[in-house]
Structure 1
Amino acid sequence: MSLCDDLLLCNFPKCRVKLSGYAWVTSCSHIFCEKHGDMEFSQSPATCPACNNTLSGRMDIARTELSPSEEQKAIILSGLRPEIVLDICSRALAFWTYQVYHERLYQQYNYSKAEQHLKQMEKLYSHQIQSKESELAGMKGEVTTMKKLLEEYKRNYSELSEKLMERNREYQKLQVQYDKLKLRSLSLANREAAANRQQGNPPRMRSSEAPSPPFFCSSPFDDARNSAFCSPLNRQEQHNAPSSRGFKIMRM
């Protein structure tokens, strides 16, 4: 803080506004803005809000003008002896130096506090960055693995596509051969039928179109000639009935 350029700040906690116009000063070398000075020093006995000292003396608290006019500057110390003027000036400079010193201590305290907070945040962020970097490395590995799998799938797909095309070509060749054989068989059958019609013979039936012979099956219990399943009643009915009832089944 410069001794000439900057203004003093209110010493009230959580205020710290730049002072201008009028201010309240105390014998314990503290200064307050007009708002907080009026609020705190209206009680009796008054107490300094900065150091909690009791201000019971008549000159322990004073309201002063921070920017006096030229007329006040010319007359405020007029008639005083030089040593008194110097004493007043030295005390005023001591008050200003005290304020500057404590403001510097306050700024250093804030700086150290902010620096500690910054170190904590840097440590936290560095830990998070390391964690994210490890996750990123893992994800890069997964991406590399997926790329390899994708290339392998592409190769397999191309191989299967080539095999499928080859099978399609083979199928088309077989289809062409089948169509030729079918046409040849139909043409031979038509010529054979035409030749048979010219000779007056009925067309020969293919083996697949020939009717199957009938298949007869009779119950073993009704067969009188089967001695293993023949009962006395069947033997008696053998004289009465010329033949047993048979079950006739025709295989289609």
Structure 2
Amino acid sequence: MADGELRCNLQSCRKVLEENALVTSCSHIFCYQHGQVSISNENCLACGTKFRSKTDFSVTDLRPSDQIKSMLLSGLNPDQALEIANRSISFYTYQLFNENRLKDEMLKRTKEECDNLKAYCSSLKTKYHTEIDKLQRSTLCLKKDIEEKIGELEKQREQTCQYSRLSKKLQLELATCRREIAMLKARNNRDESTNSPRNPSFEFLFKPEKTSMRQDTEFYEGSSSEYYYEFNNYKMFLIIHYIIGYKPSKWPYPGYSD
């Protein structure tokens, strides 16, 4: 207590006493408001001691005037004055002891709360460190996956570029083939319109005397290698015309028809 100040002994109040206070025979002191409550209940609010008479409590002026101080112990012999002073000192000492005890209890509770908070903070720290490590590992894995995906995308982009170049090349080749086919069709139409005579060698290849594919095959396979080579050229001619979709108005070989 600073400068000899007293506080209300009710735990929920703890108000600093300045002027009037209620003092009990059980060495407790209360503010004027809670003193009136204690008087009406006829017991001490701190320890629950019953008031048997009006001498078990008294309303005290904590700031007595000089006249009251001079008259307070007047007429008493020194022994009585010393006894009263000793009891007053004992009361004040008890209040100091009670205040220190309350402060110790508050300090103890505060330390326990601090320890609990430290343990809780330590557990949170451990938990969050674990979460951070987990997130860091996850981040590294994600970075690795992203790098792999980027590498795959680069490969796919290169393949796409290659396919694009190849597609353009094939489109050019296809356009060239179409132009050549158109030229061949135009040339064939001109040949048919002019009714130009056939080449004897061509007639020999495509108009043999045999009348069936099987007989012609037997004829050429049984003949010399020169005739067999010409027959293979004839088959290649048919395959090429089948691929380009060209069908002559009349097949030159009697063994075939539409």
Same fold per superposition (TM over 0.5): yes
Equivalent residue for 2:184? Answer: 188
Quote the Cα distance in structure 2 between the aligned partners of 1:85 and 1:207: 145
**Cα offset for 1:157?**
0.6
Structure 1: runs of 5 or more not aligned: 213-250
* Residue in structure 2 matching 1:10, options 1, 8, 14: 8
Q: Which 10-residue stretch deviates more, 80-89 or 127-136?
A: 80-89
How much has 1:155 moved relative to structure 2?
Answer: 0.2
TM-score when normalising by structure 1: 0.71
**Partner amino acid, structure 1, of 2:60:** T
Choose which of 201, 204, 208 in structure 1 pairs with 2:247.
208
Structure 1 residue 200: Cα displacement:
4.9
Percent pairwise identity: 27
Structure in which a larger fraction of residues adopt helix: 2
Distance 1:188 1:211 in 2: 16
Aligned to 1:123: 119
Picking from 45, 49, 66, the partner of 1:49 is 45
Amino acid at match of 1:115: K
| SS of aligned partner of 1:54 | coil
Q: Structure 2 unaligned runs (5+)?
A: 197-240, 252-256
Q: Secondary structure at the match of 1:25?
A: strand
State the partner residue of 2:55. Answer: 59
Give the deviation of 1:124 after TM superposition: 2.5
Corresponding residue number in structure 1 for 2:30: 32
Aligned amino acid, residue 14 of structure 1: S
The residue number in structure 1 matching 2:146 is 150
2:147 and 2:35 map into 1 onto residues whose CA distance is 80
1:154 deviates by 0.5
**Match for 2:129 among 128, 133, 139?**
133
Displacement of 1:77 in angstroms is: 3.6
Q: How many residues align?
A: 207
The residue matched to 1:32 in structure 2 has which SS? strand
Secondary structure at the counterpart of residue 24 of structure 1: strand
Shift of 1:72: 2.7
- CA RMSD of superposed structures (Å): 2.9
- 1:9 alignment partner AA: R
Deviation for aligned residue 1:94? 2.2
Q: SS of 2:87's equivalent?
A: helix
- Counterpart selection for 1:92 from 71, 88, 91: 88
**In the TM superposition, what whole-angstrom CA distance separates every residue of 1:85-114 from its partner, at most 9, and x where no partner exists?**
444333322211210111110110111112
Partner of 1:223: none
TM superposition shift of 1:67:
1.7
What's the secondary structure of 1:67's corresponding residue? coil
CA displacement, residues 177-211 of structure 1 (integer Å, 9 cap, x when unaligned):
111121122123223423543x356xxx9862558
Question: Structure 1 counterpart of 2:36, which letter?
Answer: D
The offset of 1:66, in angstroms, is 1.2
Q: Distance in 2 between matches of 1:50 and 1:185?
A: 119
| Aligned counterparts of 1:42 and 1:184: Cα–Cα separation in 2 | 125
Using the size of structure 2 for normalisation, the TM-score is: 0.69
**Which stretch of structure 1 is more off in the superposition, 134-143 or 155-164?**
134-143
Q: What is residue 68 of structure 2 aligned with on the other side?
A: 72
Q: C-alpha distance in 1, partners of 2:87/2:55? A: 15
Higher mean C-alpha displacement, 157-166 vs 134-143: 134-143
- How far apart in 1 are the matches of 2:171 and 2:14? 99
